[in-house]
Each structure stands twice: as structure tokens, then as C-alpha cells.
Amino acid sequence: MKIAFLFPYPSGTAPSQRFRFEQYFSDLTQAGIKYELHSFLDEPTWKVLYKPGHQLAKVSGIVLGFFRRALLMFRLLGVDYVFIHREVTPIGPPIFEWVIAKILRKKIIYDFDDAIWIPNTSSTNRIVAGIKWHGKVASICKWAYKVSCGNEFLCTFARHYNAKVIYNPTTIDTVNLHNQLSNHAVQRPVIGWTGTHSTMMYLHEIVPVMEVLSRKFDFDFVVISNQAPDFELSNLKFIPWNKATEIADLARLNIGIMPLSEDAWAKGKCGFKALQYMALGIPALVSPVGVNVDIIQDNYNGYVCATQADWEMALTSLLLAPDKRVALGKNSRKYIEEEFSVLANKNNFLALFAK
């Protein structure tokens, strides 16, 4: 058996790719399955994609991406499955997906972990938002052999178009990557958040709570991201995201937060921030949106916070009690190992390529 993986960004760069399928490559090899990797963007384009300017490099990189995709159609004649993560091309109609399904007659495994059929325009993507072609998600679902979704909200959408929908959660490698625990025996605890610039807007509702707490307690508020926060706090510390130090930076946290707004896009989120915190023995505090309410059990592995008063109360509780952080952290780690680890989900992932 041979699988072609088609995805937007260079391998090893994007979290959704790394934690949804790239960490299963060794399992595929052990199962005797061959695979090949095909990114739409090349490394130089990826490095400038979210930076101001560089318009010529961005446009030429996207044009080259389309050219590579066209040539790829001939190469796909020799594979059994085509695993498409999100889409074959980031803009335009699903022409290549149609060719793969209808002309080449290949079995498509279509994978997504966000509500990508819903427009989610930001300052960084507003130029191409009009040609994203969000409606193609439904078409690709129809043409796919199987659809792999990161949560039940996404599965429900996909089932309108395909009977073979598999719940395939975003998972954590607890053996080779998230394999250490936070040190809660510290004098100055750390509350933290990690994510990309596109989700940093959700932190705004937490800023007033942090201002209140900073006047009562001695702690750091750490933000780990590809861009600096657009707000200021006296105890704010920004850590640029770095793959080489990703786990060590996260392990500095004693409390992890994941605020979200109540909207359809947020409901499509797979709780990945919370899963990362929990795998490192860090209690997670989350908004009651989407899968968050399924992942977090109040006062067992974290807290679900619906209001600013809830956030302040839960954070105060954990800032005052290191032993409680340890207990909730241990429960969190156990839960991830049993429900959201690569080991726990391995057979489910491999079954995507079974008849």
C-alpha cells in the first residue's frame, strides 16, 4: 500500500499537520505502508507568508504551489490512497480534488480539524478571503472515500455529505515529545497561553482578570506565540514560539488557559491548547465552547470558566494552592494518556486506510 499526503505547509511546521498525521509516520512504516509527502507551499514562501510585505515572494510561491500540484496529478497514478489535509490548494475551487476523485479514481481520506467551511477573515488573510472558496469543503466530503474529523461538531457537518465519517482526534505524543511534567514547586507561578496570532484575539477577555489578579498575587503571565501580544500587562512575558524549545517553554507553565468566544468557528476547535497543557501535567482552564466541556472535568483536571468571575475564582484557587495544581496536573496527564495520546489513537488512525 502507498499513501500520498497532501497538505498546505512544509512538513514539521504547522501544528495541525504535526499533531494530526505527521506523528503517525513511524507507525505507517512499522505497518509496512509506504507514503510520500507533498506540501503546497515551499519553505521560503512559508517563512514570509505571515510577515508584512514580501508580496512578490508570496505570489510567486503560491503560483509555484499550483504548478507543483498540477505535476503531482501524474505522480498520484502510483498511489492507493490520497490523504488530503484541509485542501489541495488554499485558494480557488476544488479542481484538483475533483480530478483525484473522478478522473484518477483514487480513494481520498479527507482530514480537517477546524470549521473550515465557515469564513474566518482576519487582518492576515483578508486579501485572499474572497477566493478561499469555503464551499468546497462540502464537495470534497462528498467525493472522499472517508472523512477524518477532529471533533463531533466537525463530524456532524461531514455526515451531511458522506456516510464514512471517522472521529479522529488531534493527539499528543506522550512518549517522544510531551514527555515531561511541569514543576509546580515554584515561588512565582506562571499562568500561560500558547497559540498563533490568529487566535490571540481570544485573550482580550482575560486581560481585565489578569490585571485584577496581578494586584493580589505574584505571578507571571506568559504568552507563547509567533507574534507578540497586542496588549500590555505589568507581569506579561512574551516567548516567541520555537519548535526546538516548544516543550520546555510550555513546561514552564503551572496553569494553562484557553479562552474562546461562543461562535460556530470556535465550536470547530479541537481543544488542542488544553490537550498540550494537560499532557505536561498542567491544569487547563477553558471556556465552555465545543469539545472543551468534554475534555475538562471541573475540579478534576481543570476548570470550565463561563464568566470573568469564573476565571478569577478558578485562577485564584490554583495560585493559592500548589498541591491542587499538582493533583489536577496528575489527573490531566492520565486522561491524555488514556484518551488523547498517539498510542491510544494509533489503531484508529491506521484504520483510515483499511477497506
For 159-178, write each residue's pLDDT tens digit.
Answer: 999 999 999 999 999 999 99
Based on the fold, state whether residues 249 and 209 are members of the same structural domain: yes
Write the pLDDT tens digit of every residue in 176-210: 999 999 999 999 999 999 998 888 999 999 999 99
Contact at 8 Å (CB) between 38 and 116?
no
Q: Is 80 exceeded by the pLDDT of residue 343?
A: yes
Please state, in angstroms and rounded to a whole number, the distance separating the CA atoms of residues 107 and 355.
Answer: 10
Based on the fold, state whether residues 112 and 246 are members of the same structural domain: no
Based on the fold, state whether residues 196 and 167 are members of the same structural domain: no
Is 179 a member of any domain? no
Task: Look up the domain containing 295 and give its range.
Answer: 190-339
Rounded to whole angstroms, the maximal C-alpha distance in the chain is 65
Q: Is 60 exceeded by the pLDDT of residue 236?
A: yes
Please state, in angstroms and rounded to a whole number, the distance separating the CA atoms of residues 138 and 120.
Answer: 17
Write the pLDDT tens digit of every residue in 43-55: 999 999 888 888 9
Please state, in angstroms and rounded to a whole number, the distance separating the CA atoms of residues 266 and 120.
Answer: 10
pLDDT band at 129 (very low <50, low <70, confident <90, very high): low
Please state, in angstroms and rounded to a whole number, the distance separating the CA atoms of residues 333 and 281.
Answer: 5
Grid coordinates of 258? 484557553
Bridge partners, residue 298, by sequence:
302
Mean of pLDDT over the chain: 94
End-to-end CA distance of the chain: 12
What pLDDT is stored for residue 316 in this prediction?
98
CB proximity list for 300: less than 8 A, separation 6 or greater = 328, 331
Please state, in angstroms and rounded to a whole number, the distance separating the CA atoms of residues 189 and 325.
Answer: 10
Please state, in angstroms and rounded to a whole number, the distance separating the CA atoms of residues 350 and 166.
Answer: 12
Give how many domains the chain has, as a whole number. 2
Query: Edge-to-edge, what's the strand order for the sheet holding 284-286?
Result: 236-240, 220-225, 190-194, 255-258, 284-286, 302-304
Based on the fold, state whether residues 167 and 125 are members of the same structural domain: yes
Contact at 8 Å (CB) between 181 and 325?
no
Is 108 a member of any domain? yes
Based on the fold, state whether residues 75 and 100 are members of the same structural domain: yes
Based on the fold, state whether residues 128 and 32 are members of the same structural domain: yes
Based on the fold, state whether residues 132 and 218 are members of the same structural domain: no
**What is the amino acid identity at position 92?**
G
| H or E stretch at 220 | strand 220-225
Contact at 8 Å (CB) between 89 and 41?
no
Is 185 a member of any domain? no
Q: Please state whether beta strands 165-167 and 107-112 pair in parallel, antiparallel, or not at all (unpaired).
A: unpaired
Radius of gyration of the chain (CA): 21
Is 206 a member of any domain? yes
CB proximity list for 343: less than 8 A, separation 6 or greater = 174, 175, 337
Q: Is 90 exceeded by the pLDDT of residue 122?
A: no
User: Is residue 79 left, alpha or beta, with left meaning phi > 0 and alpha meaning psi from -120 to 50?
Assistant: beta
* Residues in the chain, total: 355
Is 29 a member of any domain? yes
Contact at 8 Å (CB) between 276 and 176?
no
Based on the fold, state whether residues 102 and 89 are members of the same structural domain: yes
Indicate which CATH number applies to the domain containing 143. Answer: 3.40.50.2000
Is 155 a member of any domain? yes
Please state, in angstroms and rounded to a whole number, the distance separating the CA atoms of residues 210 and 192.
Answer: 11
Instruction: State the average pLDDT over residues 225-252.
Output: 95
Contact at 8 Å (CB) between 131 and 91?
yes
Instruction: State the average pLDDT over residues 325-350.
Output: 97
Instruction: State the average pLDDT over residues 27-48.
Output: 96
Q: How far is CA 258 from the centre of its chain?
A: 13
Based on the fold, state whether residues 26 and 104 are members of the same structural domain: yes
Based on the fold, state whether residues 325 and 348 are members of the same structural domain: no
Q: Is 80 exceeded by the pLDDT of residue 59?
A: yes
What pLDDT is stored for residue 262 in this prediction?
84
Is 184 a member of any domain? no
Grid coordinates of 189? 507561578
Residue 84 DSSP symbol: E
Is 178 a member of any domain? no
Q: Is 70 exceeded by the pLDDT of residue 75?
A: yes
Please state, in angstroms and rounded to a whole number, the distance separating the CA atoms of residues 12 and 173.
Answer: 14
Residues of the chain above pLDDT 90, percent: 88
CB proximity list for 197: less than 8 A, separation 6 or greater = 50, 124, 225, 226, 227
| Cell 481520498 -> residue | 108
pLDDT band at 123 (very low <50, low <70, confident <90, very high): low
Based on the fold, state whether residues 346 and 333 are members of the same structural domain: no
Q: Is 70 exceeded by the pLDDT of residue 64?
A: yes
* pTM reported for the whole predicted model: 0.91
What pLDDT is stored for residue 198 in this prediction?
83
What pLDDT is stored for residue 130 in this prediction?
63
Based on the fold, state whether residues 84 and 132 are members of the same structural domain: yes
